[in-house]
Chain A
């Protein structure tokens, strides 16, 4: 193929859309405060390692301040406010987020490394939609089938990951506020900037002080939040390893918890699948957001008789993936979020080589600065390989094959995870059969990686506890409902 056929002129989004402060404090009780210890850490742009800002490291006493502010706001303001009025604040937040959408998108791309096309078209619109959706629930909880006049927990501690920083914030804060809780939220250490911009939105929306508190820091800050006796409920999105630590910690404290954890999703392609659409879905399934997606379709399970055709088409499609400047509107695959994550991807990929799988990636030039990994597939993968069992959380796809539909399901379910799965087939009865047989919370049939505030999301088995989104996502934020 002519190499220049798909060359584009650079089309970078303007950085001037967003102003980043040299440093940030903590957002507690509606105001910016300095951390007690004065400790700061840098947040960088993973695409070029440029320092974007200095972020506050919240200590135990800062966590305590934030929790007390949230408690006071809950008791004095938020729990006394009519639900209708509570909802109006959420509508306001949704609207301001829409108004400032481009700013959020650029900031997200700078701090996270994801392509602007994704932050602009997926992360930010979905985050705003999440607030809009939950705003409407605030005064309709009696009709949610969760009991009459259901009660919030009180103060919720929320910890979110770095892969969808603003979107995960919306998934956490919107249902918590709609159901009448107040919040202390800790964004991920490497991606705090959009959460801190969100604090500004809370101010612009005149949200009562203390209803939302944003504290930044590392795992120690998160642990302090989880273990604070003033927290009634914990909502965590992150690794299964940390999820289990939290599950053990609440065994003693008795706090209510929701966990959205890891995954190793099977994307099953049956012989009757629409191959071209399946290839698009496979690419979207594993290379969307650099594969930093807990529900990524990281195990491709292909029926043997279409393997050669599918693989040829997949490789051709992968060679068209544009890796590079995340702010460029043409970019498909951005930067890996951090040096630590890049090291993890490299280590697991190396295990694929040593355990006997075959690595392939298109010939693509990676930038010299920043953290990058080419879109990669491994073929000849068996179920015992680490790359078939462990979550890589990067743009690396493991390809396995099957002969019978039963074998496909067995392989797909052969994992401690159960977050999502994909099915590609033109046969309706087969899709419904496989949907039932797959042990996963979200099944995408003839599509992949679709999200919506009205659609419950969450995992079976070790992928977590509870659901987020839809009517089901309200239950974890209300007392006495499962």
Chain B
């Protein structure tokens, strides 16, 4: 008799833990072939609020970590993902369909993207900062800083690469994040959470929710403790609704079309300018 597989319970990733939804809800996802795959957690508004609390708590530690340290941890994420390549590939094929070659390519690009952003951590300030030649006896410099807590609606189709393209630039610069994974293809996100949990990434820096985007996104957009919003994965039909909700605390709201660009970091940074007199 052949061995019976051990099936995994897919859960949320909040504050470094893997809880079920506090609501007790799950939803069914099916593979590209139409067959049942799993019952991941159907995250609630309360789960989202808990995630924001976790992200906010993690912010001061992560943003004050040295850029070198953040780079090391992002690189570590790539290392851990490299060891789980087969798992990511299997899950992508199961949910997205397509060829093994395409799935491999997506996983490899996602891993390489971590490496790319890992290298940016201690360079973005050099590129985007300045010493300003002002007309007076003052030293004046501008440096980009983390924005704060960023809400991310992850790409709905390209489940792993789209996710990494959104989260890597956001946390590289010292932000923390709450991510809504691809609704129908959430396995990559959950597995990524497991990789993150073993990558020295402090608890709460990244929090991953699975569930209905249409249910969670409006709460993400209106939450007053969220400072920025990446709506790349949101339906364009609800974009204006999300932007209107986000205007209440003037969230920085962006949609991107490139997965690898310094703009994705700069969009969630704030330039700070400091003046000090020069004199004896």
Contacts and interface: CB of A to CB of B under 8 A. Distances in A.
Interface of A: 129, 145, 240, 243-244, 247-248, 250-252, 259, 261, 416, 431, 435-436, 440-447, 450, 452, 454-458, 460-462, 464-465, 467, 470-472, 480-482
Contacts, number: 110
Interface string B120-162: 0000000110101111101010100100000000000000000
B127 A457 contact: no
A461 B225 CA distance: 10
Contacts of A460: 270, 272
Contacts of B243: 247-248, 250-252
Interface of B: 64, 127-128, 130, 132-136, 138, 140, 142, 145, 227, 239-244, 246-250, 252, 254, 263, 266-267, 270-277
Given A244-B247, A247-B247, A457 B273 contact: yes
A252 B227 CA distance: 20
Contacts of A435: 272, 274
A168 to B, nearest CB: 18
Nearest to B258: A480
B94 to A, nearest CB: 36
Given A482-B263, A482-B266, A441 B271 contact: yes
Contacts of B247: 244, 247-248, 251
Given A454-B132, A455-B132, A461 B249 contact: yes
A431 B275 CA distance: 11
Contact of A446 (B132, B227, B254, B277): B277
B268 to A, nearest CB: 9
A480 B250 contact: no
24 contacts: A129-B135, A244-B250, A247-B250, A251-B242, A252-B243, A259-B250, A441-B272, A441-B273, A442-B274, A442-B275, A443-B272, A445-B274, A445-B275, A446-B276, A454-B135, A454-B140, A455-B273, A455-B275, A456-B271, A461-B227, A470-B273, A471-B130, A481-B263, A482-B267
B280 to A, nearest CB: 14
Nearest to B248: A244
A394 to B, nearest CB: 24
A433 to B, nearest CB: 10
A481 B138 CA distance: 29
B127 A145 contact: yes
B250 A454 contact: no
Given A247-B247, A251-B243, A457-B273, A450 B263 contact: no
Given A442-B275, A452-B136, 11 more contacts: A243-B250, A248-B243, A250-B243, A436-B64, A442-B273, A443-B275, A447-B277, A452-B135, A455-B273, A460-B272, A461-B250
